[in-house]
Chain A
């Protein structure tokens, strides 16, 4: 076919223009494909990280948090009864120095204090279970174990005893207060080991030893991070509330799980902490994801003051470079894609139009030797479409190379789950150790690294190439038509 040979002759013999157009289109197409691949990679990574959180989208946790007013007037949202309850629970953690012994004597004290979560009767489990749409409920009790040791201070001389509220970084680390007193603390959760599917830890997360057996009252499970920190391993013992427990296993937390340092059986913890029949967290599973919203809404109605957090809420707490990158791409990716597509489209259009403009005389000649207007338009359009195809191929190759290079570098992003907002500080009316323990019931459960892998999506390539083609088609068609509509005499007079 003459037209085809003409088309290729144009592309081949005007190789400079062909190359320039292809390069321009290629960059545009590559930009779109690469951006899409990158954001898809980020999304995959994020889904990976969130899978343990949102995997069971029907789960939610219920707690009764303490909140303190800005003006330090205390736990204003508590009823008188609850206030007393809190004081009573944390009173056990108060160190009565005069009871420890004479100043200068060695002392050691163990106590289990409540965190920012108020405990409540496990009867609530039955009430929540009765809500329609609830499949099952289990309660757990999370406390802070305070171990204080040192020499009894002379209260009449020394400065007033005061402990500032522990910040996140202090956790588990010995704090020297007067140079002769240490406070060590860790969180301990009492769990109903028979309810494995609803617990923050499960048998599959055991990295060493075995999972908690609900018949073994003196067994403890340690989180791998705490075990590492304290240099403890399976078979060692740990003191909780002054009682010895044997470490039967280590568990690695899933990202975002309401994690504690130590797990023991619920009934044991209730007993040794004097909180029989009380829990401070409910894990609730809805029958289906459709029920989650209604259940989350119904819980505070049967259990006043309850705070319900769903898997979705938890997912929102994921932070770190992964989330930053993914937010950035969410925002920028769209812009980049538009810019890429716009660039591809504009480049195709501009170069086609300018090359058509330079060929007006040639097109006039074609008309003078008998070519119809439509045939001239067809020729020019076919050329720019072929050009678009070529540019698209270049772009796909560029993008593939870029993505391969990106994947080869294996960029790692991090995701962390923020701690639940610390809602209580050293409020008035509470002994320092108690205040110290507040806000520590649930802790950051760690960070996860994800290696980014950007997938190469052929569909995106096809769409981008199609847009480049469309640009060529429109520009070629419009430019060709404009030139071909000129009277040949006019076209022939055009300098070019």
Chain B
């Protein structure tokens, strides 16, 4: 199982991580030999043009996909060597995922969507409902607990998704363009909720974004271009500039 060594203060260590799709002529190098580390508790923004491989990177970090080559260490554990069962465990307990499309279950209420992440993992039904209610309150949605996603605004939906991602107090939050479907004001609210909650729990956050203001507010910025990852200062020194469009 994923016996995580808590003394490790490196959340991620990537070595020559690559992901290619397809083969032959139509081979796509979505990620090319990425090697970098993310410290525990760090807040990292990833920017890059469409198709540069941001989602690919995030899916590998979240254990949703497997690399073509290279390794990922997650708090000292070889994530890339984990079995399917171990990955399930990891996704359940240690990683919270936030999607651009929110990805809430349409037939479940806001509260039940949060419970879905707790189901099985943690406490019994009653505790799960109470915990889900607390989580909804923490994103300011206790009033909306019984609403179906369809009856919530985009910002509200994404806050439910954040509550869901936080449900099992994961060590890492991965957000793929969490504000991509929101207007900029709502987007900023959502980001601030995300950041403040992560800070409280000391969570590591990696957020992919197109929003230059979100990127600018991040303590660490990484840039992706055609599958290659670079720290933004390196990229800038290369004279390529940071595309924040």
Contacts and interface: CB of A to CB of B under 8 A. Distances in A.
Contacts of B244: none
B114 to A, nearest CB: 10
A182 B108 CA distance: 93
A367 B89 CA distance: 10
A487 interface: yes
B154 to A, nearest CB: 17
Interface stretch (B36-44, B117-125, B133-141, B211-219): B117-125
A492 B64 contact: yes
A415 B115 CA distance: 67
Given A1-B125, A365-B103, A9 B65 contact: no
A75 B88 CA distance: 93
Contacts of B66: 487
A375 B85 CA distance: 12
B112 A368 contact: no
A95 to B, nearest CB: 95
A331 interface: no
B108 to A, nearest CB: 6
Contacts of A243: none
A490 B105 CA distance: 18
Contacts of B168: 370
Interface stretch (B8-16, B90-98, B235-243): B90-98
B182 to A, nearest CB: 19
B164 interface: yes
B121 A370 contact: yes
A368 B62 contact: yes
Interface string A353-384: 00000000110011111111101000000000
Interface in A322-372: 361-362, 365-372
Given A365-B99, A489-B59, A370 B117 contact: yes
A365 B105 contact: yes
B88 A370 contact: yes
B191 interface: no
A239 interface: no
Interface residues of B, number: 35
A373 B85 CA distance: 9
Interface string B74-111: 00000000001100110111001101000101111000
B197 interface: no
Interface string B160-173: 00001101100000
B230 interface: no
A362 B103 CA distance: 7
Nearest to A5: B112
Contact of A361 (B93, B103, B108, B119): B103
Contacts of A487: 64-66
Contacts of A372: 85, 88, 120
Nearest to B170: A370
Given A2-B116, A369-B164, A370-B92, A13 B64 contact: no
B64 A488 contact: yes
Contacts of A97: none
B92 A2 contact: no
Given A2-B112, A366-B116, A492-B64, 7 more contacts: A3-B119, A6-B108, A13-B106, A367-B91, A370-B121, A372-B85, A487-B66
Top 6 A-B residue pairs of the complex, sorted by shortest distance between their CB atoms: A370-B92, A489-B65, A488-B64, A13-B107, A489-B59, A2-B119
